[in-house]
Structure formats: structure tokens, C-alpha cells
């Protein structure tokens, strides 16, 4: 009995420790976003302070104080957040549509060169983006995709599609073939099997994969900087807050907080699906 | 009749001389055009954006500003210019980046515009810009090399410039009884004094990031006073000056200063950490571009308001001559632009006398590159307000000695970035002479 | 009947084609760009200069002759493999921890993903502030356990540790998520059977859980390794490759060469070498993955 309680206590303690380490930088940034510039660089670090909304006001151009005002330069933070959402979510959606069937095919079919093809798909992630950024810039300008949602969603496939395909392949391989064979015996055709039998089983796994891949797409900076002008994602907008004329640390913190809202919301929404597990081993 | 005409002519003449913008210059030649202007996110940009509506009213040209984050702007600029894209018409740039793009003809030469009375309004007065700034923007390109020619082609118009000075917190130095130092070893001594009197204050802040921008502020200015040049000779005889005896002497003093005076985070400190330290009172002194001190002195800008004073850059022991490096933010025209006329109109308007005075008295366009601005009463009155301390006078003291201390050459960044890396190694403990020798070898290899 | 070769039946082949084609087309649009990048590594192309000469493998020969290049190679591999190894081990430990039946485990699970919501380049400025040796909040905490003025990103001998630290903090959740799902997927009957055979907790873990989640660990490691060997954002945002050359990984070196020094041909060559290192590492990981999968079935 005592041993159980002790183990429980230790486990809980460890969990708290892990939570603290994972969450602290985020909490620190949130705190900083409500501080005035003087408090941010104070040492010893300030944990108790008078909060101010000034930094958030600056982000949305409603600041009065000159100290944090960016002058006549419009800060425009709201639009980049929307851009990031459209581009990242759009990219993930396209990757799911194109990637799930491909992952399924790689899992269920055997053909010559299959592993080579799978590796080739993965290979698009091997080279640094910087290698192709210039021809990509010229290419996009030539075909009119520069500074467009469509162009960005397509380019982001380099980040999202290979991972979706590989994860999907792995999950499908975990689903016992017998389920599909049973459905086939009942007369179902292949597309039907995939949509009505396999997909529901995949859903929890795909939600997790989509969430991860969305976050990775959300991180991207280089593509957004070079290939957009007005439709810049939030990662570029955050760096635009660095202005030589002002003390910008608290405003950057506020910007980071705003940019966190969408990913955190998605994590909370997706939590339910993640509980159910990414494989369906129970069916065995 | 004749008397009437004379009287009319006199009246018209008076009108013309009292108008800043002359009436017979056709400002509306390009009306209806739309141009894109790219620049860094910076108060300098702010100074222009504030009056874009006026420009459109005057000329009928619509300007769309595209502003980018500080460090990343240059990468995007390079890609835009080298790909020959006509997207950007007017671009903000500096002299050093221009050395790298003009050999391929990516910027429009401007001398033809400046000397054409039908394209340049009479009030523009190119000679009004400080000689050192005009000189820095003049060179010829031959066989993809920069040939430094005093009356060669002109590649951009100065918009605002940074002038490297020593800045210090009057309240901290007064409290600790320390005088602003004159020579580099004096600085190190002052630092030790400060640390003894108050260990919680960092004596000195300078940039240390792994880019040539760290060299551009303190090192190259002070090194010049030691007799050090980044390059010596010219043409085929061009050689690095960084392993000379003077250079070793300078680096030993400088590294010693950093180790004694600068914060532990020096290797990661960019301009924002340097300025932040000074404005928050964590640092007593800094050596960087003087307008940072100016901006933080503005009433209500920071807790340092009114407490930052200025002094010329440090010198070598026994040499009273200081040198001050500059960075000139300027407006250039993309060679691939399809609206060069309108682009030139915007350029001359944004750098006009009127815009300079307005930008300066708005507290944004510091330092103005025009002689007339510094003699304009409105600006003098503004800059001599008590909260700016000796900003105006120090500018006048330093201004005759300003120059761009880097040697003009294509591929400028290679050697200078390597210098910044070597500096980090030396501050980290590497032997100065050996590391400089290694740096010189690397540079010589690249020169071949 | 479902897992068949393509030879049987046209419907199988059509389905296969339709499944794979969109993905291949989407990605294939960029393949020429990679070849173009490779071609540029064979030239002496420089920004701002119009003339371009073909140099064959001259850029590569020059690279391989430089000690500093090989330093970059070792810095890159040390960084990537250390980070991924730490993330795998920590990820497994944390996934196990959050799989227990304690009350806190269930409520705290969403927190696992928090580090991933911040884009590394955007948050790098904050890390620089937090890691300030004299005024940073991290050293504030460390001072309580007697460590003073830890160098983090400001000193050459601690910079590598600091950037690996940031990488591990940011991407361990990636492993946790994938491994956690794998753990949840192990059917309870198998665990029960093991327990009935007398296996204790540690034995259960080693003999049953670990082999079953190993393929997922390898898969996650594969993805993370590819990204870590190419990591730019974290290092550029904090140390820019310094102090000195302490964290000068290949991607940073390539950036400086291509975009700062404007020697694009040489920079491209560095990136191609980087690509090659990723290729070899990925090949090894994929083989490992397939081996562990076979063992599971």
C-alpha cells in the first residue's frame, strides 16, 4: 500500500517537473508580454509586476503612448496570423488529400521500386530550402504564383506531404489486413474499402499526424520571407516587430502570445482524438 | 507695358525663391504611375511613410511601401535584385551591399538623372549632401570590379546616416566619479574603475555578433586611429592590412577591453542588446551609431531620457586623431525597374531638404545627410534641447572626420565577416597574433 | 486478395496510380529546382556578378581541402545525433510517464505539445534573453543550485550544449506524441498475458512495450534527424554559428557563403554535401525501421 502511494507521489512529482520545464518558457513569454520594457531586462527577474496591455495595443495599432508606438508604420499583426492559418491549414489539408491514398498504396501494394519510390518521396526533405529558394523565387514569379496562397500551399507540401505519407503508411501497415479482406468478401470495391473501412480506423492517427505536421508548417520562416510580399506568415511578421527606434522586447513577447493562440487551440481540439491512440491493436 | 512685365517678373521671381519646390519644374510628369518602395523597418522609413500622401498629391504617383525585418531585409533584397525582378522600383540600401550588386549592373546609375534639369527639381542641390557621403557613393564599374573614382558614376542618394560615436550615461559616470575616456586603454582603465565602484553595472557595450556589422561600429573606427586598414594597396597589389604590427597592437588592446568591460553575452550582442543596456542603465557606456543615443534621449522614450551624452570615438594611445565610421542608408533604383522616372521623382522628394528637416525635427531622421539641415534653425532648436545633451555639438566635432572606413570592393562581406569570427575567437582566448595570421591567410586566399 | 501485386487486375493498377499520382505530381514540380541547385554547385556563380563559369567539382575539391569544412561536418553530425538521441530517450521516458494512471497524467497531457507552438526562429530572440549569462532567467534558476554565470550561447565551450538544449526542449514533444500513441496502441491483452507469465513492470517494458514502439521511435528519429542535420532556425537565431566556429553547422556555413559572402556556387556545394549526409543517415534509419517493424510482426 505504502509502496503504491510512494510510487504515485514520485510519478506525480516527475510529471510536475516535466510540465514545469516544458511550460516555463511559454509562461515566461506570456508574463513578459504584460510587462513594461524596464521590467523585462531587470535582474533578478521580475515575477510580480504591474501588468499593462500596452504591448498588445501596439500590435493592433491602438497605442497612444509614444514609447511603444511604431510611429506611422503600420504593425498589422492580425493579417499575418490569418495568412499563417490559411497557408498551414491549407497545406495540411492538401497533404492529407494527396498523402493518405499514397500512404495506403505504399502500405498495401507491392511493386518493383516501391521502397525506392517511398524513399524518393522522403528525399524531398533532405535538401535545405536555401538551396532552391532562388530558382523557386524566379519560378514563382514567372508563373505568377509569387505572393499567393496557392503558391505557398504548394511549396509547403515539401514540408508536410512526405511526413503524412510515411506516417499514414505506418499506421495502415498496423491495421490488420483481415479487416479489409472481410469487407472485400462482402463485395466492397477498393476505393470503398479505403474510405469506409480504413479511414475511420486511421482517423485518430491522422489527427495526431496532421497536428504535428501543421505545427512544423507553422514554424517555417524562409519560404514565407522570400516567396511572399503581402501574404506574409506570422513568423516573418514577428521579426518585423524589431524596430531600431523602440524598445521592442515586450511587444515581441505579445506578438508571440498572439501567434500561439491558433496552435494551442488546435492542440486542445485535437486532444480528444489523440486519446484513442494511433493504432488499433485492440482489434487483434 | 514693359514696366508691368518687369514688375510681374519680379513678383514671380520672389514667389519662386520663397517656394521650396519651384513652380516651373513639372512634378506631375509621371502622374498615374504606381511604384513599390522597399526598405528596412526603421524610423528612417517611418520618416518617409508619414508624408506619402503629400507626395501623391504633389506628383500623382502612388507609392506602396514594402518593409522588412532588419537583418532579413538584405537577403530578400539580394534575391530580388539578382533575379532581375521588376517588382521593386526604389530600394533602400547601403554602400557596402551596393559594392556587391553594382558589378552586375543591378542598380540604375543616377548621375544622368541628377544632371538633367528636366528630371531633377532645382531645389534638389546634390552638392548639399556632406562630401564624405557623396564620395562614398561614387565609383565606376569596370569588368565587374569596383574602381574607386572621385567623379565616377553615382549609385544612390543618401537618406540618413549612422555615425559611430562613444555614448555614455551621464548619471552613472557622475555617480561613480568616472570621466569619459579618450583612448582605448583609458577605456579599459575606466571599466575597472566602474566595476570596483559598482559591480552591478556593465561598464561598456559593443556589438559582438558574428557579422561584419560588429566590425563596422567600434573596431574599425578605433583601429584606424592605430593606423590599421582593412586592406592596403590597390588593384593587383591589394593586400590585407590585418596582420600588421599596428593591427596586432590594436587587437590586443581591444580584446583586453572586451574581456574587462563588455558583458558576458558580448558574442551574441547585436545593436538591440547594446542600445537596450544603455537605455535601461545596465550599461554605463556604449560605442555604436549615435542616433540610438538620440532616440533614447527623446522625452518619454525610455528611462534614459536626457541622460545619454556623446563623445568622439576612442583613439590609440598617443594619437589624438579619431576616426568615425559611417553607414549610409540610401535610396537606389532597381536596374530592372520599369518606372525609373517615377522612381527618381520619389527618390529626390524623399531626400529633399524639406523632407530632411521634417524627418529630423520629427525625431526620426537622424543623422540627416545634408549640410543645410544641420544649419536649419528648426533642427538646431530641436537638437539643442537639454535632453539631448551634447548631441549637436559632438556631431559637429565628429563630422569632419567621418568616412566610410571599409575599402570598396566586390565581395566585401567575405573578409569582413571572417574578421568578426576571428574577433570572437580572440575574445574567447585565442592568441591574437596567431589568429590574425590565420585570418590574413584566409583573406589572401580569397584575394587570389 | 487486398495485398496483391500490380500484375493482377487492371483495377488494382488504376487504383495504385490514382493513389500515388497526385503526391508525385505535387512534389515532382520541384524536382528540376533541385537539379538546378546541384548544377549551380558546379559553377563559380556569385551574386551581383553576371559572368558564370563552369567549374566541375572544383568547389567540392576546395571544400574538402579545408579543415574548417570538416569541422562543420563534425559539428553538424554531433549536433543532430546528440539532439535526436536525447529526444528519443526523453521522449520515451515522458511518454511512459504520461501513460501511467495517475490523475495528473491525464490532465497534463496537452502541455506536452506546448514547446512546439513556438516557431524556433521567432522565439530565438527570447532564448537569447533567457540565456543571458548575467541577467537571464535560466541562470537565475541555476544560481539556486550553485551554478553561476553559465555561458549558454555566449561562450564557445557551452554554445553547442545550449543549442542542443533548445532543440531537445522544442522537439522532444514530437517524440512523446508519436511514442505515446504507439504505447496506447499496444493491446491490453498482450500486457495481461505477460503479467500472468510473471513478468514484472521493468520486464514488461523491455520485452513487450519497447519492441512494439521501437518502430515508431525509429520513424520519429528518422524525421527529426533529417530536420536536425538541416537545422538552421535555432542556431541562426541564437549564435549565428558562433562564438567563433563553435556551432558552425553546414546549413549556417552555407548561408554565410551563399547569402552573405555572395558566393552562391560554393554555398550550393556545401548544401549538396549536407544533403548527402542526410541521405546516408536516412538510408540507415529506414533500414533500421524496416528491421524493427519485421521483428514486431
B70 chain-A contacts, CB cut-off 8 A: 239, 242-244
What are the two backbone dihedrals, phi and then psi, of residue B238, each rounded to the nearest 5 degrees? -60, 130
C235 chain-A contacts, CB cut-off 8 A: none
C245 chain-B contacts, CB cut-off 8 A: 421, 425
First-to-last alpha carbon distance for chain C, in angstroms, is 19
Grid coordinates given for A81: 496570423
B45 chain-A contacts, CB cut-off 8 A: 73
Q: Are B75 and A226 an interchain contact pair (Cβ–Cβ within 8 Å)?
A: yes
The residue among C181, C280, C263, C183 whose CA lies nearest residue C225 is: C280
Mutate to test the interface with C, among B78, B258, B268, B419 (most CBs of C within 10 A): B268
Question: Distance from A228 to chain B by nearest Cα, in Å?
Answer: 10
Q: Are C242 and B101 an interchain contact pair (Cβ–Cβ within 8 Å)?
A: no
Q: Are B69 and A66 an interchain contact pair (Cβ–Cβ within 8 Å)?
A: no
Give the span between the Cα atoms of B216 and C30, in whole angstroms.
Answer: 40
* Chain C residue at shortest CA distance from A271: C110
Most confident of A129-138, B68-77, C234-243: C234-243
Q: What is the pLDDT of residue A282?
A: 35
Please write down the HEC assignment for all residues of chain B. Answer: CHHHHHHHHHHHHHHHHHCCCCCCCCCCCCCCCEEEEEEECCHHHHHHHCCHHHHHHHHCCEEEEEEECCCCHHHHHHHHHHCCCCCCCEEEECHHHHHHHHHHCCECCCHHHHCCCCCCCCCCCHHHECHHHHHHCEEEEECCEEECCCCCEECCEEEEEEEEEEEEEHHHHHHHCCCCCCEHHHHHHHHHHHHHHCCCCEEEECCCCCCHHHHHCHHHHHHHHCCCCCEECCHHHCEECCCCHHHHHHHHHHHHHHHHHCCHHHHHCCHHHHHHHHHHCCEEEEEEEHHHHHHHHCCCCCCCCCCEEEECCCECCCCCCCCECEEEEEEEEECCCCCHHHHHHHHHHHCCHHHHHHHHHCCCCCCCCEHHHHHCHHHHHHHCCHHHCCHHHHHHHHHHHECCCCCCCCCHHHHHHHHHHHHHHHHCCCCHHHHHHHHHHHHHHHHC
Q: Are A71 and B364 an interchain contact pair (Cβ–Cβ within 8 Å)?
A: yes
The mean pLDDT of chain A is 84
Residue C155: pLDDT band (50, 70, 90) is: very high
Please check whether residue A176 lies inside any domain of the structure.
Answer: yes
User: Higher model confidence: residue C107 or residue A112?
Assistant: A112
Please check whether residue A5 lies inside any domain of the structure.
Answer: no
C259 chain-B contacts, CB cut-off 8 A: 75, 78
Q: Are A73 and B75 an interchain contact pair (Cβ–Cβ within 8 Å)?
A: no
* Chain C residue at shortest CA distance from B98: C48
B81 chain-C contacts, CB cut-off 8 A: 48
Candidates B79, B272, B303; nearest CB to A226: B79
* Chain A residue at shortest CA distance from C35: A132
A204 chain-C contacts, CB cut-off 8 A: 181
pTM (predicted TM-score): 0.90
Burial class (CB in 10 A: 0-12, 13-18, 19+), B354: middle
Rounded to an integer, the average pLDDT of C165-189 is: 85
A240 chain-C contacts, CB cut-off 8 A: none
Please check whether residue A49 lies inside any domain of the structure.
Answer: no
Grid coordinates given for B281: 542603465
> Counting one residue from A and one from C, how many pairs have CB atoms under 8 Å apart?
281
Give the span between the Cα atoms of B436 and B434, in whole angstroms.
Answer: 5
Q: What is the pLDDT of residue B77?
A: 92
Q: What is the pLDDT of residue A204?
A: 76
Distance of CA B134 to the CA centre of its chain: 13
Please check whether residue A257 lies inside any domain of the structure.
Answer: yes
| Residue A231's CATH number | 1.10.3720.10
Q: What is the pLDDT of residue B9?
A: 53
pLDDT tens per residue, range A39-66: 777 778 888 888 888 888 888 775 443 3
Q: What is the pLDDT of residue A59?
A: 81
> Counting one residue from A and one from B, how many pairs have CB atoms under 8 Å apart?
84
**ipTM score here?**
0.88
Residue C169: pLDDT band (50, 70, 90) is: very high
Query: C64-100 as b/e, with b when 16 or more CB fall inside 10 Å?
Result: eeeeebeebbebbbebbebbbebbbebbbbbbbbbee
Q: What is the pLDDT of residue B339?
A: 95
Q: What are the C-alpha distances in Å from B124 to residues A207, A253, B37, B121, B329?
A: 63, 43, 20, 6, 18
Q: How many domains does chain A have?
A: 1
* Chain A residue at shortest CA distance from B298: A67
Question: Distance from A36 to chain C by nearest Cα, in Å?
Answer: 15
Please check whether residue A89 lies inside any domain of the structure.
Answer: yes
Question: Distance from A134 to chain B by nearest Cα, in Å?
Answer: 7
pLDDT tens per residue, range A231-255: 999 999 888 888 777 778 888 999 9
Contacts of A among chains (3+ CB pairs under 8 A): B, C
* Chain A residue at shortest CA distance from B83: A138
User: Which domains are seen in chain C, by residue range?
Assistant: 1-34 (no CATH), 66-296 (1.10.3720.10)
Q: Are B100 and C48 an interchain contact pair (Cβ–Cβ within 8 Å)?
A: yes
Judged against a pLDDT cut of 70, whether residue C5 lies above it is answered with: no
A157 chain-C contacts, CB cut-off 8 A: 26-27
Question: Distance from C115 to chain B by nearest Cα, in Å?
Answer: 23
Candidates C49, C128, C242; nearest CB to B421: C242
Which of residues 14 through 33 in chain A touch B, CB cutoff 8 A? none
Owner of C-alpha cell 567539382: C57
C167 chain-A contacts, CB cut-off 8 A: none
Q: What is the pLDDT of residue A281?
A: 37
Give the span between the Cα atoms of B206 and B262, in whole angstroms.
Answer: 7
Rounded (5°) CA angle A173-A94-C26: 90
User: Higher model confidence: residue C213 or residue A245?
Assistant: C213
Q: What is the pLDDT of residue B11?
A: 52
Asked whether the bond before B367 is cis by omega within 30 degrees of 0, the reply is yes
Rounded to an integer, the average pLDDT of C217-227 is: 93
Candidates B43, B66, B300; nearest CB to A244: B43
List residues bridging with B285 in a β-sheet: B168, B204
pLDDT tens per residue, range C80-90: 999 999 999 99
Q: What is the pLDDT of residue A67?
A: 37
Q: What is the pLDDT of residue B119?
A: 94
Q: How many CB atoms lie within 10 A of CB B374?
A: 20
Which of residues 132 through 171 in chain A touch B, CB cutoff 8 A? 133-134, 137-138, 141
Candidates B144, B266, B417; nearest CB to C260: B417
Please check whether residue A127 lies inside any domain of the structure.
Answer: yes
The mean pLDDT of chain C is 87
pLDDT tens per residue, range C12-66: 788 888 889 999 999 988 888 889 889 989 998 887 777 788 888 989 999 999 8
Q: What is the pLDDT of residue A279?
A: 41
Please check whether residue A109 lies inside any domain of the structure.
Answer: yes
Grid coordinates given for A125: 526533405
The residue among B71, B111, B65 whose CA lies nearest residue B88 is: B65
Q: Are C5 and A110 an interchain contact pair (Cβ–Cβ within 8 Å)?
A: yes
User: A25, A44 in Cβ contact below 8 A?
Assistant: no
Local confidence pLDDT in tens for the 448 residues of chain B = 455 555 555 555 454 444 445 557 899 999 999 999 999 888 899 899 989 999 999 999 999 999 888 778 888 898 899 888 999 999 999 999 899 889 889 999 999 999 999 999 999 999 999 999 999 999 999 887 888 888 999 999 999 999 999 999 999 999 999 999 999 999 999 999 999 999 999 999 999 999 999 999 999 999 999 999 999 988 788 899 999 999 999 999 999 999 999 999 999 999 989 998 998 889 999 999 999 999 999 987 788 899 999 999 999 998 889 999 999 999 999 999 999 999 999 999 999 999 999 999 999 999 999 999 999 999 999 999 999 999 999 999 999 999 899 998 888 889 999 999 999 999 999 999 999 999 999 999 888 7
Look up the domain containing A142 and give its range.
78-236+252-278
* Chain B residue at shortest CA distance from A239: B69
Please check whether residue A193 lies inside any domain of the structure.
Answer: yes
Grid coordinates given for A283: 482489434
Number of alpha carbons in the 13 Å side-chain half-sphere of residue A41: 24
C256 chain-B contacts, CB cut-off 8 A: 417
Distance of CA A257 to the CA centre of its chain: 15
A248 chain-B contacts, CB cut-off 8 A: 272
Q: What are the C-alpha distances in Å from C243 to residues B72, B167, B205, B247, B443?
A: 21, 26, 17, 22, 20
Question: Distance from A138 to chain B by nearest Cα, in Å?
Answer: 7
Q: Are B276 and A66 an interchain contact pair (Cβ–Cβ within 8 Å)?
A: no
Q: What is the pLDDT of residue B3?
A: 53
DSSP code at position C149: S
List residues bridging with B92 in a β-sheet: B331
A242 chain-C contacts, CB cut-off 8 A: 125
Question: Distance from C288 to chain A by nearest Cα, in Å?
Answer: 14
* Chain A residue at shortest CA distance from C268: A131
Candidates A119, A132, A162; nearest CB to C34: A132
Amino acid at each position: 500500500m505504502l509502496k503504491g502511494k510512494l510510487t504515485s507521489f514520485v510519478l506525480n512529482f516527475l510529471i510536475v517537473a516535466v510540465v514545469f520545464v516544458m511550460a516555463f518558457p511559454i509562461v515566461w513569454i506570456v508574463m513578459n508580454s504584460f510587462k513594461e520594457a524596464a521590467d523585462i531586462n531587470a535582474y533578478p527577474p521580475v515575477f510580480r509586476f504591474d501588468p499593462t496591455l500596452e504591448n498588445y495595443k501596439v500590435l493592433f495599432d491602438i497605442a497612444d503612448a509614444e514609447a511603444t508606438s511604431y510611429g506611422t508604420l503600420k504593425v498589422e499583426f492580425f493579417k499575418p496570423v490569418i495568412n499563417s492559418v490559411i497557408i498551414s491549414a491549407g497545406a495540411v489539408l492538401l497533404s492529407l488529400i494527396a498523402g493518405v491514398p499514397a500512404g495506403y498504396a505504399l502500405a498495401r501494394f507491392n511493386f518493383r521500386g516501391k521502397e525506392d519510390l517511398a524513399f524518393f518521396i522522403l528525399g524531398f526533405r533532405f535538401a535545405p530550402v536555401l538551396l532552391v529558394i532562388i530558382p523557386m523565387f524566379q519560378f514563382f514569379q514567372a508563373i505568377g504564383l509569387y505572393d499567393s496562397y496557392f503558391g505557398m500551399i504548394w511549396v509547403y507540401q515539401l514540408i508536410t506531404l512526405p511526413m503524412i505519407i510515411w506516417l499514414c503508411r505506418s499506421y495502415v501497415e498496423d491495421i490488420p489486413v483481415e479487416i479489409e479482406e472481410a469487407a472485400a468478401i462482402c463485395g466492397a470495391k477498393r476505393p470503398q474499402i479505403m474510405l469506409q473501412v480504413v479511414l475511420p480506423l486511421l482517423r485518430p492517427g491522422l489527427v495526431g499526424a496532421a497536428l504535428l505536421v501543421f505545427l512544423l508548417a507553422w514554424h517555417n520562416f524562409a519560404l514565407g520571407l522570400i516567396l511572399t510580399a503581402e501574404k506574409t506568415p506570422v513568423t516573418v511578421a514577428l521579426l518585423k516587430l524589431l524596430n531600431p527606434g523602440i524598445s521592442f522586447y515586450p511587444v515581441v513577447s505579445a506578438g508571440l502570445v498572439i501567434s500561439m493562440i491558433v496552435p494551442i487551440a488546435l492542440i486542445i481540439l485535437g486532444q480528444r482524438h489523440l486519446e484513442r491512440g494511433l493504432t488499433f491493436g485492440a482489434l487483434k | 507695358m514693359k514696366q508691368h512685365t518687369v514688375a510681374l517678373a519680379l513678383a514671380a521671381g520672389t514667389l519662386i525663391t520663397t517656394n521650396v519646390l519651384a513652380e516651373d519644374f513639372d512634378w506631375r510628369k509621371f502622374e498615374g504611375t504606381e511604384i513599390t518602395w522597399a526598405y528596412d523597418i526603421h524610423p528612417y522609413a517611418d520618416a518617409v511613410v508619414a508624408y506619402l500622401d503629400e507626395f501623391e498629391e504633389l506628383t500623382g504617383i502612388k507609392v506602396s511601401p514594402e518593409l522588412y525585418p532588419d537583418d532579413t531585409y538584405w537577403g530578400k533584397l539580394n534575391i530580388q535584385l539578382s533575379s532581375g525582378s521588376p517588382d521593386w522600383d526604389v530600394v533602400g540600401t547601403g554602400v557596402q551591399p551596393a559594392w556587391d550588386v553594382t558589378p552586375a549592373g543591378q542598380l540604375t546609375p543616377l548621375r544622368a538623372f541628377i544632371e538633367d534639369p528636366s528630371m531633377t527639381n532645382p531645389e534638389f542641390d546634390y552638392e548639399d549632401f556632406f562630401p564624405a557621403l557623396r564620395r562614398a557613393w561614387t565609383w565606376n564599374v569596370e569588368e565587374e570590379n569596383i574602381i574607386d573614382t572621385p567623379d565616377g558614376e553615382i549609385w544612390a542618394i543618401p537618406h540618413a546616416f549612422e555615425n559611430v560615436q562613444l555614448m555614455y550615461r551621464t548619471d552613472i559616470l557622475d555617480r561613480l566619479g568616472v570621466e569619459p575616456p579618450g583612448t582605448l586603454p583609458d577605456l579599459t582603465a575606466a571599466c575597472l574603475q566602474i566595476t570596483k565602484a559598482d559591480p552591478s553595472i556593465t561598464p561598456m557595450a559593443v556589438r559582438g555578433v558574428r557579422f561584419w556589422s560588429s566590425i563596422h561600429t567600434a573596431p574599425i573606427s578605433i583601429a584606424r586611429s592605430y593606423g590599421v586598414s582593412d586592406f592596403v594597396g590597390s588593384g593587383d597589389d591589394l593586400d590585407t592590412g590585418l596582420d600588421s604590427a599596428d593591427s596586432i597592437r590594436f587587437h590586443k588592446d581591444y580584446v583586453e577591453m572586451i574581456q574587462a568591460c563588455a558583458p558576458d553575452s558580448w558574442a551574441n550582442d547585436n545593436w538591440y542588446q547594446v542600445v537596450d543596456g544603455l537605455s535601461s542603465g545596465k550599461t554605463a557606456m556604449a560605442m555604436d551609431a549615435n542616433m540610438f543615443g538620440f532616440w533614447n534621449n527623446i522625452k518619454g522614450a525610455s528611462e534614459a531620457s536626457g541622460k545619454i551624452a556623446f563623445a568622439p570615438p576612442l583613439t590609440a594611445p598617443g594619437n589624438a586623431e579619431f576616426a568615425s565610421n559611417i553607414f549610409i542608408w540610401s535610396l537606389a533604383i532597381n536596374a530592372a525597374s520599369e518606372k525609373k522616372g517615377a522612381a527618381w521623382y520619389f527618390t529626390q522628394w524623399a531626400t529633399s531638404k524639406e523632407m530632411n528637416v521634417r524627418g529630423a525635427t520629427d525625431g526620426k531622421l537622424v543623422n540627416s545627410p545634408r549640410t543645410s539641415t544641420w544649419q536649419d534653425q528648426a533642427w538646431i532648436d530641436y537638437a539643442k534641447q537639454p535632453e539631448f545633451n551634447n548631441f549637436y555639438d559632438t556631431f559637429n566635432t565628429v563630422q569632419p572626420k567621418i568616412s566610410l572606413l571599409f575599402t570598396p570592393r566586390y565581395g566585401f562581406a567575405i573578409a569582413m565577416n571572417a574578421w568578426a569570427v576571428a574577433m570572437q575567437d580572440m575574445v574567447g582566448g585565442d592568441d591574437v597574433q596567431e589568429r590574425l595570421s590565420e585570418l590574413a591567410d584566409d583573406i589572401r586566399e580569397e584575394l587570389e | 486478395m487486398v495485398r496483391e501485386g500490380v500484375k493482377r487486375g487492371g483495377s488494382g493498377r488504376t487504383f495504385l496510380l490514382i493513389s500515388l499520382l497526385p503526391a508525385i505530381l505535387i512534389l515532382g514540380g520541384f524536382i528540376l529546382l533541385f537539379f538546378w541547385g546541384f548544377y549551380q554547385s558546379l559553377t563559380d556563380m556569385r551574386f551581383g556578378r553576371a559572368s558564370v563559369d563552369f567549374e566541375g567539382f572544383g568547389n567540392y575539391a576546395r571544400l574538402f581541402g579545408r579543415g574548417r569544412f570538416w569541422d562543420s561536418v563534425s559539428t553538424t553530425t554531433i549536433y543532430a545525433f546528440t539532439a535526436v538521441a536525447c529526444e528519443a530517450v526523453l521522449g520515451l521516458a515522458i511518454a511512459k510517464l504520461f501513460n501511467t494512471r495517475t490523475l495528473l497524467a491525464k490532465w497534463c497531457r496537452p502541455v506536452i505539445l506546448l514547446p512546439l507552438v513556438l516557431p524556433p526562429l521567432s522565439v530565438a530572440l527570447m532564448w537569447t534573453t533567457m540565456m543571458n549569462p548575467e541577467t537571464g532567467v535560466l541562470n537565475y534558476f541555476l544560481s539556486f543550485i550553485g551554478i553561476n554565470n553559465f555561458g549558454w550561447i555566449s561562450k564557445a565551450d557551452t554554445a553547442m550544449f545550449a543549442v542542443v538544449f533548445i532543440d531537445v526542449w522544442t522537439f522532444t514533444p514530437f517524440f512523446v506524441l508519436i511514442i505515446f500513441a504507439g504505447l496506447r496502441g499496444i493491446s491490453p491483452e498482450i500486457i495481461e498475458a505477460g503479467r500472468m507469465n510473471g513478468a514484472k513492470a521493468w520486464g514488461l517494458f523491455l520485452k513487450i512495450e519497447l519492441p512494439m514502439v521501437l518502430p515508431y521511435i525509429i520513424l520519429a528519429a528518422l524525421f527529426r534527424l533529417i530536420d536536425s542535420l538541416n537545422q538552421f532556425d535555432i542556431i541562426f537565431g541564437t549564435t549565428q554559428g558562433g562564438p567563433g566556429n563553435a556551432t558552425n553547422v553546414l546549413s549556417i556555413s552555407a548561408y554565410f557563403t551563399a547569402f552573405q559572402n555572395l558566393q552562391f556556387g560554393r554555398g550550393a556545394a556545401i548544401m549538396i554535401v549536407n544533403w548527402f549526409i542526410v541521405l546516408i543517415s536516412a538510408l540507415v534509419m529506414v533500414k533500421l525501421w524496416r528491421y524493427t517493424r519485421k521483428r514486431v510482426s
